Amino acid sequence: MKRTRIADVLHKWQVIGAGSMVNLKGWVRTKRGNKNVAFIALNDGSIIHSIQIVVDLAAFDEATMKLITTGACISVNGILVESPGQGQAVELQAKEIEVYGTADAETYPLQKKGHTLEFLREIAHLRPRTNTFGAVLRIRHAMAFAIHKYFNDNGFYYLHTPIVTGSDAEGAGAMFRVTTLDPVKPPLTETGEVDYTQDFFGKATNLTVSGQLEGELGALALSNIYTFGPTFRAENSNTPRHLAEFWMIEPEMAFYDITDNMDLAEDFLKYLVRYALEHCMDDLEFLNKMYDNEL
């Protein structure tokens, strides 16, 4: 059977139709129940909400059911039904379950309880499975798409400005050096400096701190351009306001005056906020509740 995304089941179940057989695949968030029935919360990352899988234990092998613990990866065929319980419109009555991967309850670190961000930092490979990082990643996706859509719909062209460069824009910050020279004994000039003519590009290069210079040249030919790519700052400043690597948006427009600039900034930000409210409400509600109730 072809898999259905849980986001589609939860948002479009009336189109799919109660009573339909669907296949869901994902990772188990929790399992609870009694000796007759098990309730599995299954999540596939397509949406912050998990769907409830109802398992009539009489119809399933006990050994298989033991493998279904938090973190396990399973595939379920079942009947989509309207849910009698609160907090969910539909649930799935399991008919077949296949276990793709197990997660040892003793060692799998993402259990039902909340985890601190500091703890999650130590299991970076599992962070996207948490509600918090899932929400952030889905919102970041939506915002990235909205950025491209806004500029595309408004006649701007997207420029991929260079990442490795010999320029430092307008001296925007400390830079990372990019090199393939021998790290211990680099070739030196007669005056004892590094001889960058022998480096990969034949000159000293660094990671870009801004695509502005190339963006301005693009605007002086294509009128309206924007960049949206990674930029780098080697400031050794460990605060929430500094990142060594971050993605930055830079629009550059020929023939704009200060009023045009202000109108663009205002219209752009309003568009992004509106897009987030229309497309990310589930995730915003979660972050609003858990992290900042002024979102």
Residue in the block written with tokens 């663009």: 264
Check: CB of residue 102 under 8 Å from CB of residue 66: no
CB of 62 to its own copies, least distance (A): 26
Buried b (16+ CB within 10 A) or exposed e, 51-76: bbbbbeeeebeeeebeebbbbbbbbb
- Residue selected from 255, 258, 292, 293 as contacting its own copies according to rule CB under 8 A: 255
SS3 35: coil
The site map against its own copies for 223-252 (x = CB under 8 A) is: xx----xx-x-x-x-------xx-x-----
Nearer to its own copies, 162 or 276 (CB): 162
Is 273 an interacting residue with respect to its own copies (CB under 8 A)? Answer: no
Handedness of CA 288, 115, 140, 218 (dihedral sign): positive
- Residue selected from 29, 41, 44, 280 as contacting its own copies according to rule CB under 8 A: 44
Token pair for residue 4?
């259905």
Q: Write the DSSP symbol of residue 126.
A: G
Is 115 an interacting residue with respect to its own copies (CB under 8 A)? Answer: no
- The residues that bridge with 255 in the sheet, in sequence order, are none
User: What is the contact surface with its own copies in residues (CB under 8 A)?
Assistant: 3, 5, 7-8, 25-27, 44-46, 75, 125-126, 128-129, 133-134, 137-138, 140-141, 144-145, 148-149, 152, 155, 157-160, 162-164, 174, 176-181, 183-184, 186, 188, 192-194, 200-201, 207, 217-218, 220-224, 229-230, 232, 234, 236, 244-245, 247, 254-255
